[in-house]
Structure 1
Amino acid sequence: MTSHTLEYLPPVKPSAIALGTLFNHAANIAVLAPVFGDTYRRAQQADSKEEFIKSREAASAASLYGSTLVGSGIQTYAIAAILNHANVLSYKGAAYLGGLLFAATAVPQAVSQVFLDRRPAELVAVKVAANLVDTVGLSLFLTWWGTRPAHDLLR
């Protein structure tokens, strides 16, 4: 009997993926707002819409926006799948799990940025806050909405 990799991926309620993606994408866009604000100002200063659309700024902004949306969807599925696999049903459990994800993904990066890269504290603080929303906030949001497909609830 052959097994397929997809059999190992936990099912997640599609609406949880959609809403979690929007939640996570909105949080990322809020952090990236200064980048998009600069792009918008350049668009206003361009001689024509066609000139701006052909510019590097427009291509860069579109690429950033698209990759953020795709990344938000992937991250949402991953966190929802972990919540389901760990059988997390409470906000306390979601906060703990989100905290562990934050510690595993964002803390090493923040420490490196502060001590090795010597980035400004304000920049690191904004990234840490965004990562807290991406992990703890998304875990709590998904727990509030529910991540289990209907067929799993009947078991």
Structure 2
Amino acid sequence: MSVDFPRGWEITRATEAEYHHNKCSFNTAGMICDCNVLMRHPEMLDKCRFYGAGGEVLSESYDGTPASTEGYDALWLWFGLSRSAFCVLPRVMMHDMPDHWQERFAALMREWDEAWVSQPDIGARVQITQHGQLVKAPSWLLDYRHPDRLALASMRLRKGAGE
């Protein structure tokens, strides 16, 4: 595939329903197009470029081989079918990861900051829920300076467990 999921939706919605096959998923179920409208779109046929929203080229191969989308695909799969717009990881749990993991994560966060030098001055708040209801955050989750090792150990999958 040479277009990302949001771009696929843009192409699907930009094409009038009458141009989609009558059995196309867009016409029958309001889902992304599975007929020739999307499959034969020039961006979809271009195997050397990977297109994102607005037709922006996200990655490109200059030697004629298909453009790589492994990282892009892996991140989409990590989020799964959730509609999450953010990734929230508890600091106390991140600090309980192995040191080499923390080093790699910190490097990625520095890379993030360097790539987005003009981030908007906005913030986000986390609400803790349990079974769909708002609850007070457990103290073990908030106290990253004095971690509750027993609570953290109870959640960790140990090697050999579950195999």
What is the TM-score normalised by the length of structure 2?
0.28
Higher relative strand content: 2
Higher relative contact order (CA 8 A, sep 6+): 1
The structure with the largest alpha-carbon Rg is: 2
Q: Give TM-score, length-normalised by structure 1.
A: 0.29
Which of the pair is proportionally richer in helix?
1
